[in-house]
Chain A
Amino acid sequence: MYHNSSQRKYWIFKSEEELEQMRCKANQKFRNKTLESGKHGVTESMFLERHEEDVLFRHYERRLLDFCNAFKPAMPKSVVGTAAMYFRRFYLNNSIMEYHPRIIMLTCAYLSCKVDEFNVSSTQFVGNLLQETPAGQEMVLEQILEYELLLIQQLIFHLVVHNPYRPMEGLLIDLKTRYPVLESPESLRKSADDFLTQAAMTDAGLLFSPSQIALTAILNAASRAGLNLMSYLTECLGLKDDKEALSKMCDTMRRMKNLLKKYELPKPEEVNVYKQRLERIHAEFATSNKWKSVTLTLPGWQQPVT
């Protein structure tokens, strides 16, 4: 359950500033490492800034979601959510310049399928990469398998991710049972779903618990439909007497809504420019890094999963 999960203990942070600090640290670490390695033609201007990294991150995140949504057979929502969370957590402690997001994104999806018990063979998985030839798919598969262990390491082996989809179902059931004031909670479902998909593209998963995200989704959908569900909070969720908790709850929801509002779609021109720079960085530095970073290549890990 969420309350004694590793997600609550290790992967929930206090504020967006803290997250930003961690990302800056990762960025700085890569810069220092490359500067120290003493390669020729290294200039400060070659590195990506934080906001540039952010744009690229969002771009690749969208690509990940598109890949998962176009996946054959249909990927359950929890698998998509888990993959997105892995992607986000990985780039909390690592810089985009160090590991190319294209491979990491596929590795996240692959690992998420395994962890969430959505059984897909490796060949079937790479078969979904429609733009590649079968030989190209083989190569991608090899790369995925190489990076898989690294990904797990960087997630500190905390592989279970609690997504807000089931809490949302539970809240809907609760609403239907205990809150007859609201006539048709089902009408809120679609809007709440959209909210959740949008929230998956923000840092909400790293700051709030999944049940809080689900509650915010439902309240948002209700307010958009013009209904006030505050009495649900006070009556049914037992927050009547606890003023402090109630205000904190409202605060949380406000923060979450802000996060969603702040989200910007990555602009294609910017993306292309930064992508080129990223490719250049990877071409220069990453080739030597690739072999160093995968520290524990045990032979067993290289077997494709059937």
Chain B
Amino acid sequence: MDDQGCPRCKTTKYRNPSLKLMVNVCGHTLCENCVEMLFVRGSGNCVQCDTPLRKNNFRVQLFEDPTVDKEVEIRKKVLKIYNKRDFDFPSLREYNDYLEQVEDIVYNLTNNVDVENTKLKMEQYQRENRDIIQRNKAKLTREQEELEELLLLEQQSNEQRRLEVLQEEQRQLQAKRKNKQALLDELEQSQLPATILLAQHKVRASQLETQIEQQKQTVKPTSLFSTGINMRQTVSLLPVPQIEDILYHYKPLQVQTYGPTVPELEHLSRLGYLNHVRAALPQDTAGGYTSALACYRAIQDAFSGLYPEKG
């Protein structure tokens, strides 16, 4: 899992797997301790590439490969500027071209290819599309807010349900305790014999149990389907387009045998053919063979092609 150590203190990472690695804008990692050490001394340069750094630029590493983290950071920044959406473009081709542009920029910045030009390009784009960027930013925040609201709602309803369940349990426990207490009191005070009291108590306890069971089973009627549509709401269903096709009409197969008609397999025994065929042994009939089959085949062969060709 940890094939790389902190480049400064090297050993510390192996000895202490819970130690987190931090990544900065140049893409190099440093463990938490080393970050502290570096900024205690006041010098803010990366160990490997010597770029000036600020302490708050360090973020906890999420990915195993620090270059991935670096790219993610860069992408976030780029997308803050290049935030057009697919409906901003008149055609798919243009949208794809735009996306390719964005990717090129991110690639260049990540791999330190042509950084100057890329930065210039970005600034130019920012200047040109300032209002679009603003508009999209606003839209994005709005969408995010809506999502957050939904999440909040869901959380709240979950909480509520949990609380209700807890309360129900509490109530049931209390009811049981009360019942027991009542039994004890009665045993103390009443004049009736103990067995009758016990029987009464048992009846009451079972009644209580059934009550609890019923309560558990009553499902609270909801007003919402799982997809979010209200139950009262009528959803319009468009009629499915009818595909008209010619109805298939079965025509039985006609086979020309060029000979007399062969009697049906089932009629062979009735017509007396089977008297002249060797009878099937028990081991033959076990497999489904009947003498009618052999007879039928012989007759078919005898009659097939018997008539001379016409013309």
Contact = CB atoms under 8 A, between A and B. Distances in A.
A1 B308 contact: no
Given A173-B295, A212-B306, A212-B308, A238 B260 contact: yes
Contacts of A8: 305
Interface residues of B, number: 26
A2 to B, nearest CB: 4
Contacts of A81: none
A202 B107 CA distance: 88
Contacts of B272: 177
Interface stretch (A57-65, A87-95, A163-171, A221-229): A163-171
Interface in A154-200: 162, 166-174, 176-177
B302 A214 contact: yes
Contacts of A169: 298, 302
Contacts of A209: 258, 304-306
Contacts of B271: 177
Interface string A209-220: 111101100000
B172 interface: no
B69 to A, nearest CB: 60
A215 B306 contact: yes
Interface string A67-90: 000000000000000000000000
Interface size on A, as a range, is 20 to 34
A211 B306 contact: yes
B277 interface: yes
Given A4-B255, A177-B273, A212 B298 contact: no
A245 B259 contact: no
B301 A2 contact: yes
B308 A245 contact: yes
Given A1-B300, A4-B255, A211-B259, A177 B276 contact: yes
Nearest to B262: A170
Interface string B238-268: 0000000000000000011111110000000
B165 interface: no
Contacts of B180: none
A119 to B, nearest CB: 20
A237 interface: yes
Contacts of B225: none
A214 B301 CA distance: 10
Nearest to B303: A211
Contacts of A171: 302
A62 B258 CA distance: 33
Contacts of A177: 271-273, 275-276
A28 interface: no
B307 to A, nearest CB: 6
Contacts of B255: 3-4
Contact of B304 (A3, A168, A236): A3
Given A3-B257, A166-B297, A245 B304 contact: no
A140 interface: no
B302 to A, nearest CB: 3
B157 to A, nearest CB: 72
B299 interface: yes
A252 interface: yes
A237 B300 CA distance: 13
A5 to B, nearest CB: 9
Contacts of A170: 297-303
A243 interface: no
A214 B276 CA distance: 18
Pick from A2, A210, A252 the residue with the most CB of B within 10 Å: A2
Nearest to A4: B255
Nearest to B273: A177
A137 B255 CA distance: 48
Interface in A1-43: 1-4, 8
A176 B255 CA distance: 27
A169 B301 CA distance: 9
Nearest to B258: A3
B302 A211 contact: yes
16 contacts: A1-B300, A1-B301, A4-B255, A162-B301, A167-B301, A170-B300, A170-B302, A173-B298, A177-B271, A177-B273, A209-B306, A211-B306, A212-B305, A212-B308, A245-B307, A249-B307
